[in-house]
Amino acid sequence: MRRTLKAVFAGALCVAGARRLVRAVRRHEAGGPRMLVLSYHRASLDFHADAIDSLPSLLVSADTLHRQLSQLARERDIVPLDDAVRILAEPAGRRASRRDLAVVTFDDGYMGVHEHALPVLRDLRIPATVFMATGYAGTAHRLAHDRLWATLRELWRRRIPPAAAALPAPEQALLNASTGAGPGSTLDRLISRLRHDQLVAVAAALEARLGTSELDLPEESRLMTWDELRELEANGVAVGGHTVSHAVLANLPLSRARAEIDGCMRDLRQHLAPRDRHFAYPNGYYTPAVKRAVRDAGFLSAVTTEDEENRRGGDPWALKRKVLWEYSTLGLSTYSPALAACNLDSVFALFGWQRAVPGERPDAGDEDRGEPERAVV
């Protein structure tokens, strides 16, 4: 019902010209053409089939991706991230006559980018960047959030409480406190509060309780190989960094965060041809010290998941992005161009219908203080 109401409201706003007014105001505030950076995750041939076994909010069907990017290209110039960083560094007022701009990115490095998104990008002649968690390239291992989603969803489906998962007390207490929240909310809470090694331990404990393993996850949850990544680059899709293990950097001691960042850059330099590289913060969380570590590692920019406008002269290591998935543009039952237009132009933010996505966190403290306190409820 909420989605239907938003689609109807979006249609009315577009007819009334409100969207054009918002676009003009935002363009004036930005000092010229606006820069929209989009974030996708997994491309799929069949959203509904894949959403049965995978986290739906990470999925977009190839058909919907084609519709979204086609509509975007009719209204904006879609540019490589290299160009976007250079343009955003220009003084306000430059390029005032140009159309608004956009950048397309994909996080994590799922095989669907190679199998299903690349044909769409080639057909539309659109450049893009994929941010790869390099430690998974060419392996059968799955990302911790996919493992957690699969186990939490199965526990929820079977109505099995997550108690007695043989975890250390703090992780078990956090898990128990999330029992009634549902798998999605529980996953968000775990990711925001636990270190990467704790997340992996929770996933392994829940898999053991269910008698499953990460290898039982669908093939579509596999990440790409280096050969597939090299083929992407040969077809105009740049490869950037997303840490080695997809660790949420703001939850780590700075020394470990640096190891994740530096190791990711080493992997990219070892396996891919030399070029400028960009970075994406896993889950969008970062701190001032993490930003400096990304810059010191040699990355040209870094992107968050903060759904805000990118401004001229802004911080290139904290670029804002809008996350899209299958339902971002779904009306009552089909693709809604009006809803897509209002989402892409952030019109709903004026009415409080666009949830703020925080990204920056304060530095945890002295990098030599050792491990952070364990998560508590």
Domain C-terminal end among 158, 189, 216: 216
Cα–Cα distances (Å) from 248 to 188, 265, 337, in that order, read: 12, 17, 34
The verdict on residue 73 lying in a domain is yes
Is there a single domain that holds both residue 118 and residue 152? no
How many other C-beta atoms can be found within 10 angstroms of the C-beta atom of residue 255?
A: 11
Between CA 108 and CA 72, with CA 67 as vertex, the angle to 5 degrees is 80
Confidence (pLDDT) at 70: 97
Rounded Cα distance, 256 and 148, in Å: 22
Residue 233: its H or E element: helix 226-234
The verdict on residue 204 lying in a domain is yes
3-state secondary structure of 319: strand
Alpha-carbon dihedral sign for residues 210, 214, 218, 220: positive
Is there a single domain that holds both residue 57 and residue 172? no
Query: Residue 109's domain spans which residues?
Result: 2-134+298-351
Q: Quick one: pLDDT band at residue 40, thresholds 50, 70, 90?
A: very high
Query: Considering the entire predicted model, what is its pTM?
Result: 0.92
Once rounded to an integer, what is the mean pLDDT over residues 2-24?
Answer: 70
Percentage, residues of the chain above pLDDT 70: 88
**288-296 and 254-271 helices, crossing angle to 10°:** 30
- For residue 184 the two structure tokens come to 């999605």
Is there a single domain that holds both residue 101 and residue 20? yes
**For 115, phi and psi rounded to 5 degrees?**
-80, -40
CB 34 within 8 A of CB 24: no
Q: Is the pLDDT confidence value at 370 over 70?
A: no
Is there a single domain that holds both residue 68 and residue 156? no
Is there a single domain that holds both residue 34 and residue 84? yes
The verdict on residue 210 lying in a domain is yes
pLDDT in tens, 311-332: 888 899 999 999 999 999 998 8
pLDDT in tens, 193-234: 999 999 999 999 999 989 999 999 999 999 999 999 999 999
Q: Is the pLDDT confidence value at 4 over 80?
A: no
Map tokens 């543009």 to a residue.
329
Is there a single domain that holds both residue 195 and residue 113? no
Once rounded to an integer, what is the mean pLDDT over residues 275-299?
Answer: 97
The verdict on residue 130 lying in a domain is yes
Q: Is the pLDDT confidence value at 9 over 50?
A: yes
Confidence (pLDDT) at 368: 41
Q: Is the pLDDT higher at 186 or at 296?
A: 296
Give me the CATH number covering residue 61: 3.20.20.370
Rounded Cα distance, 241 and 134, in Å: 7
Q: Is the pLDDT higher at 253 or at 375?
A: 253
Is there a single domain that holds both residue 157 and residue 108? no
pLDDT in tens, 113-172: 999 999 999 999 999 999 999 999 999 999 999 999 999 999 888 887 766 566 787 788
Q: How many domains does the chain contain in total? A: 2
Classify burial at 365, counting beta carbons within 10 Å of its beta carbon; exposed 0-12, middle 13-18, buried 19 or more: exposed
Q: Is the pLDDT confidence value at 22 over 70?
A: yes
- For residue 122 the two structure tokens come to 């080639």
What lies within 8 Å, CB to CB, of 102 at 6+ separation is: 35, 36, 37, 38, 72, 76, 77, 78, 79
What lies within 8 Å, CB to CB, of 330 at 6+ separation is: 3, 7, 64, 336, 339
How many residues does this entry show for the chain? 377
pLDDT averaged over the chain? 88
Residue 167: its H or E element: none
Once rounded to an integer, what is the mean pLDDT over residues 87-97?
Answer: 71
